[in-house]
Amino acid sequence: MTRRVAVFVYGVLSYAVGFGVLLYLIGFIGKFLVPTSIDGPLQGSLVGAVAVNLGLILAFAVQHSVMARPAFKRWLVRRIPAEAERSTYVLASGLTLIALFALWRPMGGIVWDVQQPAARVALFALFAAGWVTVFGSSFLINHFDLFGLRQVWLCLRGKPYTPLEFKTPGPYSLVRHPLYVGWITAAWATPTMGAAHLAFAVAMTAYILVAIRWEERDLVDALGQDYADYQQRVPMLAPRLRRAKKSQVEGAAA
């Protein structure tokens, strides 16, 4: 029982770190309510700032991708309780982002600055929509499993973990990765884009586009033909608007 309680407490604390870091990230990118910001005046060398920032993004990318691979998971669960594997991933992701917040170096410069009030409101709304998509998508596929809480809760109750059923609710019927669509939208939607923000948006978008390929290979291995059929049926990031429009027209005609 002591082991199960310890695993559960570890999972709850890891979730608190991971979720808190995500909330901080909203303010960090949006430049409000938090003490540090993605943009600001350049201090020191521009070359040094670029090198540090890209290194921080690379560290996040390596941690996020390596720990998500099945081979690493098999290695990890030989050293920690299997129920804590996802929580460890969430905790490591949170700590990596905390390091990014602490060490990030603003680069000065303004790439664009939209002053028209309606356009600024629209861009802030798009920024908010990106984050709503991120969190909404996570709840549609089981937010608590994604963040490791379901695993440690089942452990606390002495029940074995059961993998989630593969399903494609809501936006998952339009694109395979609505969560990543939300991430990319939130990274780019801003009325004032500084040089450091642009570097972050470009690097994170590039990372997502590469990481999706690895993730989908793992999903095909895990889910087999079901996911292969899903790949054929539903686009990766951009919905097939023409097909949707055609279906609507055919439905109206019928």
In a domain, 189, yes or no: yes
- Decide if 77 contacts 151 (C-beta within 8 A): no
Indicate the number of domains in the chain.
1
The pLDDT of residue 240 is: 84
Helix axis angle, 85-103 to 46-66, nearest 10°: 180
pLDDT tens figures, 53-62: 999 999 999 9
The pLDDT of residue 229 is: 96
d(CA 202, CA 237): 16
Q: What is the pLDDT along the chain (254 residues), one digit of tens a residue?
A: 899 999 999 999 999 999 999 999 999 999 999 999 999 999 899 999 999 999 999 999 999 999 999 999 999 999 999 999 999 999 999 999 999 999 999 999 999 999 999 999 999 999 999 999 999 999 999 999 999 999 999 999 999 999 999 999 999 999 999 999 999 999 999 999 999 999 999 999 999 999 999 999 999 999 999 999 999 999 999 998 765 444 443 333 44
In a domain, 253, yes or no: no
Neighbours of 232 (CB within 10 A): 7
The pLDDT of residue 114 is: 97
- Decide if 142 contacts 136 (C-beta within 8 A): no
Range of the domain at 51: 2-238
In a domain, 76, yes or no: yes
Contacts of 87-92 with CB under 8 Å at 24 or more apart are: 87/10, 87/11, 87/14, 87/15, 87/147, 87/148, 87/149, 87/151, 87/152, 88/14, 88/148, 89/148, 90/14, 90/15, 90/17, 90/18, 90/147, 90/148, 91/13, 91/14, 91/17, 91/18, 92/63, 92/67
pLDDT tens figures, 99-141: 999 999 999 999 999 999 999 999 999 999 999 999 999 999 9
In a domain, 214, yes or no: yes
d(CA 126, CA 143): 22
The pLDDT of residue 1 is: 81
